[in-house]
Structure 1
Amino acid sequence: MAVQFSSVLLSALTPVTLISGVGLLLLSMTNRYSHATNRIRELLREKASQSDKLIDPELDASIELIYKRAWYLRRAMLCMAVSVTFSACIVLCNVLDALFGIRLDVPESVLLLCGMALTVVSMMYFVLEISTSLHALGLTVHPRVHKKN
């Protein structure tokens, strides 16, 4: 029984480690998303407090850029969460195989490929968000340079 438990533990270790690493990335994305949504709310309050006749295109542009960042982050978090779910299913397949001898090699492979693909897509969205964030920062630091482009 001890040998069987150690083989179950060993087969579940890699997906569990993957879940842990992806969880840290998801935490980072969640923090960035929370900051973006709070900043949008602040800017919308600022916009609402202005008179109706005053139109501030810079404020509207800031709101749009931060909303775009939040959009990217939301998709990145969704892809990452589904990837974690696939990793958890891989652990379940490994446990079923080790305990009951149910061979689930094909479903495990499919889950692994889908999970990795979703992780890559998530990271692409995350990179787009960071790029958008740097663009917004560039507009603040060098407004004249970016207005010409």
Structure 2
Amino acid sequence: METTHLVTILQASIAPFVLISGIGLLLLSMTNRIARPTDIIRRLLVELGTAKESDKQSLLTQITLLRKRCALLRTSIALSILAIVCVGGVTLLLYASLLLSIKLHILIQILFGGSLVSLIASLLFLLQDIRITLRSLDLEIDRHKNALKSQ
């Protein structure tokens, strides 16, 4: 294989690798985010056993919202991983296309488009998680306000 041909292959692979790096950082953020609600659910379940009857409904609502966040984050993580797999496929197909002189442009375009759609969907699920996080925070603030009023 000529050096110029190898350089062309490497140039074609750089952009997908940068995209994989960026998605990987988002994925790291999402996996860190999912640890938090799972820990809080465990703490609230313990608290639920000793809570006053007036607080139980609030705790159950919090647990439900946190569980919904976990499901959203799981979906977001899965879509991010799918985006990485698609970009990896793009890289392999680019390499095969250039190395073997096979026309795979349509398949490459489909996979690249799929990776972008998957990434956008992942970010929308992450945005939904953030919305629920703020709603959950509002419920927690209200619960503490009510506890202060009743004292």
Q: Does 1:59 align with 2:88?
A: no
Q: What RMSD over aligned residues (CA atoms) do the two structures have, in Å?
A: 1.9
Question: How far 1:54 moved relative to its partner?
Answer: 4.3
1:86 aligns with: 86
Look up the SS of the partner of 1:116 in the other structure.
helix
Gaps of 5+ in 2: 146-151
Shift of 1:22: 0.5
Question: Which whole-Å CA distance do the structure 2 matches of 1:39 and 1:5 have between them?
Answer: 51
- Whether the 8 Å contact between 2:69 and 2:133 is mirrored in structure 1 is yes
Stretches of structure 1 that go unaligned for 5 or more consecutive residues are 145-149
Partner of 2:17: 16
| Inter-partner Cα distance in structure 1 for 2:46 and 2:77 | 27
**Secondary structure of 1:103's aligned partner:** coil
Does 1:134 find its partner at 2:134?
A: yes
Q: Find out whether 1:102 has 2:102 as its counterpart.
A: yes
What is the alpha-carbon distance in structure 2 between the residues aligned to residue 37 and residue 140 of structure 1? 16
Q: Cα offset for 1:142? A: 4.2
The question of whether the paired residues in 1 share the 8 Å contact of 2:62 and 2:139 is answered with: no
C-alpha distance in 1 between matches for 2:141 and 2:53: 24
Paired with 1:140 and 1:24, the residues of 2 have a C-alpha distance of 30
Alignment partners' CA distance in 2, 1:76 and 1:103:
33
* Aligned equivalents of 1:94, 1:139: Cα separation in 2: 50
Q: Percent identity?
A: 28
Query: Partners in 2 of 1:39 and 1:131 — Cα distance?
Result: 17
Give the count of matched residue pairs. 143
Give TM-score, length-normalised by structure 2.
0.87
1:86, distance to aligned residue in structure 2 (A): 0.3
